[in-house]
């Protein structure tokens, strides 16, 4: 478009066409099943009365066949679990019936929001965010050692080994850092990912997949500096997501190509047929 002159009528027609794409994206039917849905938000500059950062909430899913898809997005002034609940109800109305797992950064109340809409699903807090929260409670000189020790916990090869390593970690640091012990002991669903096939565990114990997408999106939006209004942001973001979904549609995410039978069994267990 750059370097060309367009009449106001042409610009109006192009805008209308993009707006139709946005409407179609938000109303399209969705898959019945998702193995995992990641919930995350990123902040973008939007002009209303003044320029402010607002939270673009994103749901990114992986189908049982292993295809990634940006399912839904919506802009809110700030990130909250109630916003995600509203979005999950929306995708439920558009055909999503069965979700095995939700993964998020541990936003307060989000576990309850996810499980209230999809009560048979499971939940996994992001281990990268758990590690960041732990590191905020320790001295600078201990950060590298503790980060390495925690990685050994959640990357252990077997479930029993993971639990054992967590207890060993707590025993080593509980006297020096009692707040770390308290944080880990009150965090629920730490090892839900271990209930899933080993080939995909590294993809589901963190929100790295959706955060990686968010970085790509922000890189593109930086060229805009700010959006003059919400409609302009929606058009830009939606076009970016449609293009990403087209690329995703030809790629099976790492590990999912060899776990089809195991995932089908998990769906049958969590969502038994009457």
Structure tokens given for 190: 């730490």
- The Cα 241–Cα 72 span in angstroms is 9
Q: To which H or E segment does residue 124 belong? A: strand 122-125
* pLDDT higher than threshold 50 for residue 37: yes
* DSSP three-state, residue 260: helix
Q: How far is CA 232 from the centre of its chain?
A: 24
* DSSP three-state, residue 125: strand
- The Cα 100–Cα 133 span in angstroms is 26
Q: Which residues have a Cβ under 8 Å from the Cβ of 1 and sit 6 or more positions away?
A: none
Question: What's the pTM value of the predicted model, to 2 decimals?
Answer: 0.91
**Please, which pLDDT band fits residue 50 given cuts at 50, 70 and 90?**
low
**pLDDT computed for residue 2 by the predictor:** 44
For residue 33, the 8-state DSSP code is E
Structure confidence by residue, pLDDT tens digits, 120-174: 999 999 999 999 999 999 999 999 999 999 999 999 867 778 989 999 999 999 9
Q: To which H or E segment does residue 40 belong? A: strand 33-47
**Closest to 161 (Cα-Cα) out of 106, 204, 198, 131:** 198
* pLDDT higher than threshold 50 for residue 12: no
- The Cα 160–Cα 154 span in angstroms is 11
Evaluate whether 226 touches 217 at the Cβ level (below 8 Å). Answer: no
φ, ψ of residue 53 to 5 degrees: the values are -85, 130
**pLDDT computed for residue 8 by the predictor:** 54
Helices 8-27 & 230-248 angle (0-180, nearest 10): 60
């Amino acid at each position: 478009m750059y370097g060309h002159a367009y009449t106001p009528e042409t610009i109006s027609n192009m805008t209308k066409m993009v707006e139709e794409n946005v409407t179609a994206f938000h109303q399209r039917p969705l898959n019945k099943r998702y193995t995992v849905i990641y919930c995350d938000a990123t902040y973008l500059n939007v002009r209303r009365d003044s320029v402010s950062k607002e939270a673009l909430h994103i749901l990114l899913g992986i189908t049982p066949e292993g295809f990634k898809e940006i399912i839904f997005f919506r802009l809110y002034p700030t990130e909250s679990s109630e916003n995600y609940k509203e979005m999950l109800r929306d995708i439920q109305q558009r055909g999503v019936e069965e979700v095995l797992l939700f993964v998020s950064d541990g936003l307060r109340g989000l576990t309850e929001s996810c499980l209230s809409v999809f009560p048979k699903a499971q939940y996994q807090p992001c281990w990268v965010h758990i590690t960041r929260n732990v590191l905020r409670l320790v001295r600078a000189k201990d950060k590298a050692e503790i980060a390495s020790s925690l990685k050994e916990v959640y990357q252990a090869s077997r479930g029993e080994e993971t639990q054992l390593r967590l207890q060993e970690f707590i025993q080593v640091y509980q006297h020096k850092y009692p707040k770390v012990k308290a944080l880990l002991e009150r965090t629920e669903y730490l090892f839900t990912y271990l209930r899933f096939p080993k080939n995909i565990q590294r993809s589901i114990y963190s929100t790295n997949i959706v955060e990686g997408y968010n970085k790509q999106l922000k890189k593109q939006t930086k060229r805009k500096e700010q959006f003059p209004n919400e409609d302009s942001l929606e058009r830009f973001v939606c076009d970016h997501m449609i293009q990403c979904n087209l690329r995703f549609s030809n790629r099976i995410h790492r590990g999912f190509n060899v776990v089809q039978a195991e995932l089908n069994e998990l769906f049958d267990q969590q969502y038994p047929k009457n």
